[in-house]
């Protein structure tokens, strides 16, 4: 695997995450590093190819990130995309200027048929082709453009605005594209990346998740030696996959700490303990901390959502820290950080961000020698694949996301043990019925939450004045935007009847039809 790797150098663009993913989809392992990764490090990693990403800067600004000229003497194929293409141009003596008009979105581009990069690209049937070129659709997003290719380069694509929409120096295996092949709106973009990775870089394309898992397990063994590792386990997909990987690598040198903050779904603590505890299949130490009352005490009377989040995060840290001290002499902290967590805070100082992100903000003063984050280059669906490779049961691997602050942000207003119980029961009924209706795999996330509203009802001959539960179900791919799912009325009706009949303290059930934006997925 080590010899068959592509390095993506990140110049800060918005599609960077996609590039790594597209490369891995070609069966080639890929890692993303800051553009400033020293040449010596690149040499040591011995990649088959290097991809330079887009970015928001203007290359002719003094402070903007630049390429190291030595990059082009390593005899490793290089592909620059958007800003990356301009960085190559600038570095090798071509000319980049501010374009007379910006190009954003779908744009017609003419591709030189004979270029190795555009192999097998037929172009748009409906667009008239010029001799030697095929017309295609690409995704553009730029204000600057390349006006003059560096010496030794041949122009291989153009648009009505861009005289150099792509260029190549075949002799040195350097390619540069102004548009974004990684974005699905570029017709055959993924074919271009595949050609670069497999034909030009000569990668084998045989990498699969099992190789990644094996490699990581070996790396972890080497890093940890005979040291002790602590892992904050929430039972969610990322931390579970991380824990199992660690367990395969170092067995009982690993201690997983699971904090029950009293804001978990019904039976969740028991389920997590069943899988990871002493009777479960994994070789690790498991500690469950019952800290419910501590959290309820801290949250008493607090209604402001951000304050609630902060209290839960802070208290989590305290509990975790106390446990770390009790175990003592723990050198390593393992976290299930995944790539989207890293980009939230920028790649440059990702290690620090990670330790602050995953468990609601681990403090710097918990004294660990090193943080281990084996999943930090993967996306959620890739983590799931790794989980399956590790033999984790499907029902755990395909769990829907559950936020760190748990039911604390699904109870609008102040949190009490009584309200937690209501929302746990209502949510359990909802989940059971959604699964019975066969919809549990097609809805991205669904849960019951408790509004802070009480309203008048009638049950039997009595007046009631109880809470309203709200049901939420959304469909999304990235959880950044979402649509409310259109659940069958029979299902909603059955869930409503069951909740009102079976859960004390609820007299009304509502369905949340709001998308994101303008709402968020969680209530708070």
Active site amino acids = 82, 180, 182
By CB under 6 A, which span of 186-194, 298-306, 419-427, 513-521 interacts with ligand XMP? 513-521
220: left (phi over 0), alpha (psi -120 to 50) or beta: alpha
Which of residues 479 and 511 has its CB atom nearest to ligand XMP in the complex? 479
Alpha-carbon Rg for the chain, nearest whole angstrom, is 26
From candidates 55, 94, 235, 403, binder to ligand XMP by CB under 6 A: 403
Any contact of residue 235 with ligand XMP (CB under 6 A)?
Answer: no
Any contact of residue 181 with ligand XMP (CB under 6 A)?
Answer: no
From candidates 57, 445, 485, 507, binder to ligand XMP by CB under 6 A: 445
For the chain, first and last CA: distance in Å? 43
Any contact of residue 141 with ligand XMP (CB under 6 A)?
Answer: no
CB of 373 to ligand XMP, least distance (A): 15
By CB under 6 A, which span of 99-107, 317-325, 399-407, 450-458 interacts with ligand XMP? 399-407
Residues 289-308 close enough to bind ligand XMP by CB under 6 A: none
| Nearest Cα residue to 159 out of 234, 109, 86, 97 | 109
Which of residues 195 and 350 has its CB atom nearest to ligand XMP in the complex? 350
Which of residues 459 and 513 has its CB atom nearest to ligand XMP in the complex? 513
Which of residues 399 and 494 has its CB atom nearest to ligand XMP in the complex? 399
CB of 482 to ligand XMP, least distance (A): 7
Burial 38-67 (b: 16+ CB within 10 A, else e): eeeebeeeebbbbbbbbbebebeeeebbeb
By CB under 6 A, which span of 163-171, 199-207, 371-379, 514-522 interacts with ligand XMP? 514-522
CB of 320 to ligand XMP, least distance (A): 15
Q: 512: Cβ–Cβ under 8 A, 6 or more apart, which residues?
A: 470, 471, 472, 484, 519
Any contact of residue 380 with ligand XMP (CB under 6 A)?
Answer: no
Which of residues 166 and 521 has its CB atom nearest to ligand XMP in the complex? 521
Any contact of residue 404 with ligand XMP (CB under 6 A)?
Answer: yes
From candidates 49, 80, 405, 413, binder to ligand XMP by CB under 6 A: 405
Any contact of residue 368 with ligand XMP (CB under 6 A)?
Answer: no
CB of 481 to ligand XMP, least distance (A): 9
Residues 471-510 close enough to bind ligand XMP by CB under 6 A: 479
CA–CA gap between residue 7 and residue 77 (Å, rounded): 11
Which of residues 22 and 309 has its CB atom nearest to ligand XMP in the complex? 309
Measured from the Cβ of residue 325, the count of other Cβ atoms closer than 10 Å reads: 11
Angle 134-137-139 (CA atoms, 0-180°, nearest 5)?
135
CB of 309 to ligand XMP, least distance (A): 6
Structure tokens given for 359: 């468990």
Cis omega (within 30 of 0) on the bond before 518?
A: yes
CA–CA gap between residue 89 and residue 103 (Å, rounded): 19
CA–CA gap between residue 286 and residue 255 (Å, rounded): 6
From candidates 401, 457, 505, 515, binder to ligand XMP by CB under 6 A: 401
CA–CA gap between residue 203 and residue 3 (Å, rounded): 9
CA–CA gap between residue 172 and residue 434 (Å, rounded): 57
DSSP 248: H
CB of 168 to ligand XMP, least distance (A): 41
| Nearest Cα residue to 469 out of 501, 515, 435 | 501
Structure tokens given for 18: 């996609």
What is the SS3 assignment for 170?
Answer: helix
Which of residues 198 and 510 has its CB atom nearest to ligand XMP in the complex? 510
CA–CA gap between residue 255 and residue 233 (Å, rounded): 10
Which of residues 31 and 522 has its CB atom nearest to ligand XMP in the complex? 522
Q: Evaluate the CA torsion angle 353, 357, 361, 367 in order and state its sign.
A: negative
CB of 109 to ligand XMP, least distance (A): 35
Any contact of residue 408 with ligand XMP (CB under 6 A)?
Answer: no
CB of 521 to ligand XMP, least distance (A): 3
- Annotate 58-95 with DSSP letters as a single string: -TTSTTS----GGGGGSS--EEEETHHHHHHHHHTT-E
Any contact of residue 215 with ligand XMP (CB under 6 A)?
Answer: no
By CB under 6 A, which span of 179-187, 298-306, 396-404, 449-457 interacts with ligand XMP? 396-404
Which of residues 80 and 236 has its CB atom nearest to ligand XMP in the complex? 236
Q: 382: Cβ–Cβ under 8 A, 6 or more apart, which residues?
A: 21, 24, 209
| Residue ranges binding ligand XMP (CB under 6 A) | 401, 403-405, 445, 479, 516, 520-522
């Amino acid at each position: 695997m080590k010899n068959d790797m592509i390095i993506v150098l990140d110049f800060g663009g918005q599609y960077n995450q996609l590039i790594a993913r597209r490369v891995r989809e070609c069966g080639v392992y890929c890692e993303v590093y800051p553009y400033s990764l020293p040449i010596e490090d690149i040499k040591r990693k011995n990649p088959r190819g290097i991809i330079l990403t887009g970015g928001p800067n203007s290359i002719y600004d003094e402070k903007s990130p630049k390429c190291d000229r030595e990059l082009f003497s390593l005899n490793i194929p290089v592909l620059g995309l958007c800003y990356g293409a301009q960085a190559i141009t600038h570095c090798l003596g071509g000319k980049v200027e501010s374009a007379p008009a910006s190009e954003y979105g779908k744009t017609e581009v003419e591709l030189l048929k004979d270029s190795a990069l555009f192999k097998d690209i037929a172009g748009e049937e409906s667009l008239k082709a010029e001799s030697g070129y095929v017309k295609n659709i690409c995704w553009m997003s730029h204000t600057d453009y390349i006006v003059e290719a560096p010496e030794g380069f041949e122009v291989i694509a153009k648009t009505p605005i861009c005289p150099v929409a792509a260029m190549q120096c075949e002799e040195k295996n350097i390619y540069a594209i102004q548009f974004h092949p990684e974005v699905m709106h570029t017709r055959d973009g993924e074919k271009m990346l595949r050609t670069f990775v497999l034909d030009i870089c000569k990668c084998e394309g045989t990498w699969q998740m099992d190789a990644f898992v094996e490699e990581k397990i070996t790396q972890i063994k080497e890093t940890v030696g005979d040291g002790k590792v602590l892992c904050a386990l929430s039972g969610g997909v990322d931390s579970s996959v991380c824990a199992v990987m660690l367990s395969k690598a170092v067995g009982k040198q690993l201690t997983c700490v699971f904090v029950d903050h009293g804001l978990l779904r019904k039976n969740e603590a028991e389920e997590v303990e069943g899988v990871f505890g002493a009777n479960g299949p994994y070789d690790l130490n498991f500690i469950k901390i019952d800290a419910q009352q501590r959290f309820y005490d801290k949250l008493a009377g607090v209604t402001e959502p951000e304050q609630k989040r902060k209290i839960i995060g802070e208290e989590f840290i305290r509990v975790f820290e106390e446990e770390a001290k009790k175990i003592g002499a723990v050198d390593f902290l393992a976290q299930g950080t995944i790539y989207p967590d890293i980009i939230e805070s920028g790649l440059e100082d990702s290690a620090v961000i990670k330790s602050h992100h995953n468990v609601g903000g681990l403090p710097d003063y918990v004294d660990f020698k090193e943080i281990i984050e084996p999943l930090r280059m993967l996306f959620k669906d890739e983590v799931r694949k790794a989980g399956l490779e590790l033999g984790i049961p499907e029902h755990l691997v395909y769990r829907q996301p559950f936020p760190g602050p748990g039911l604390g942000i699904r109870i609008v207003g102040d949190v009490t043990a009584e309200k937690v119980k209501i929302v746990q029961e209502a949510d359990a009924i909802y989940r059971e019925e959604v699964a019975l209706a066969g919809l549990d795999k097609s809805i991205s996330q669904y849960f019951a939450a408790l509004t802070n509203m009480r309203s008048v009802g009638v049950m039997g001959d009595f007046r009631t004045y109880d809470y309203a539960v709200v049901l939420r179900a959304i469909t999304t791919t990235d959880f950044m935007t979402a649509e409310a799912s259109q659940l069958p009325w029979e299902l909603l009706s059955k869930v409503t009847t069951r909740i009102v009949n079976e859960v004390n303290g609820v007299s009304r059930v509502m369905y949340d039809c709001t998308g994101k934006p303008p709402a968020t997925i969680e209530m708070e």
